[in-house]
Structure 1
């Protein structure tokens, strides 16, 4: 089995009007990986986000805004490097965990998922936190296996897995990216991570967005159970 290094790593994200945070996120990735990781931003912004990203060496793929999942699906399928890490561009996720995620991929895991919920996620709005707990319980019930955080934005994947599965969800894509591999027998690790207060405004309505995510979890789990 290959031993992957930061030269084999792509860090990807969907970006939409994140000029307040994007510079800090990209600087963190460069610092942690010694500038060796490829960075891909799929961007639908009308502010300075793409300009800042390009100046800092990121590859920017421009896309009309079509929702979270459309951007992130494009982002995870774009790189050629064998390990792909997703993150959000709001500076909430700890890039210091990139070495740990890469280490677990090298140990044979196919997906390494950052679990914000188990450590407490105190900086997350209460409604969002309880919603995420509910999503995890719903998914665990339908899967017949325990997961702690279905909607985290920080995960590492083997690139081949991302191209072997057909992804169908938009708002619920982050859950789908965990649930389909888990239910197909891929090796999954959840790693507790700290979660910081976001920079900038959230774009997801907790009620309509939450309903869409719950619907995706049910749909994906039922589809995967039908494959058994």
Structure 2
């Protein structure tokens, strides 16, 4: 089996008006990987986010604002490198864990999903923690597999998997990127990670976004198990 290193890694993200944090995130990625990882940002900003990202060496693909899923789907399907890690650009996720995620892919996992809730996610608003716990409970019942964090933004994937599955969701894409591989029998590991308070303002409407995610979870699980 091929042993991957950070030279085989692409870190991808959708960005929307994240000038407060994107430079820090990209600097962290460069520091942890000795500037050897490819970085792709799919951007819909009207602030300095794309300019800052390019200054840090990222490839920036600009698209009109169409929502989380459209940006992240483009981001995960763009790189040619065999290991792809998604992250958010709000400085909540631990980029120092990137080498560990690559090593877990080397151990044979197809998806390594950062579990924010394992350590309590104290930096997450209480309403969001409750919602994420509810999403996980519903997904666990419908998928027939125990899951802990369906909407984490930090995951590592084998590139082939990302191109083998048709992705359909927008707001619920993060849940879809976990649940379709899990139900199809790919090797999935949820790895506990710390979660930090975000820099900048959140763009997600907790009620409307939460309802859209819940609908996606039900749709995906029913399609995969009974469709």
Size of the aligned set, in residue pairs, is 227
Shift of 1:145: 1.1
Deviations 1:23-42 (Å, cap 9, x if unpaired)? 00000000000000000000
In the alignment, structure 1 segments of 5+ residues that lack a partner are none
> CA shift at 1:104, angstroms?
0.4
Aligned equivalent of 2:79: 79
| Alpha-carbon shift at residue 144 of structure 1 (Å) | 1.1
Residue 190 of structure 1: aligned partner: 190
* Post-superposition offset of 1:44: 0.4
State the partner residue of 1:203: 203
Distance 1:59 1:132 in 2: 31
Partner SS state of residue 123, structure 2: coil
| Secondary structure of the structure 2 residue equivalent to 1:141 | helix
Partner SS, residue 224 of structure 1: helix
Distance 2:65 2:44 in 1: 5
Q: CA deviation at 1:55?
A: 0.7
Q: Structure 2 CA distance, aligned partners of 1:171 and 1:189? A: 23
In structure 2, list runs of 5 or more residues that go unmatched.
Answer: none
Q: Which residue of 2 aligns with 1:162?
A: 162
1:129 is aligned to: 129
- CA RMSD for the aligned pairs? 0.5
Output the TM-score relative to the length of structure 1: 0.99
CA distance in 2, matches of 1:101, 1:83: 9
* Alpha-carbon distance in 2 for matches of 1:92, 1:182: 25
Partner of 1:8: 8
Deviation at 1:182, TM superposition (A): 0.2
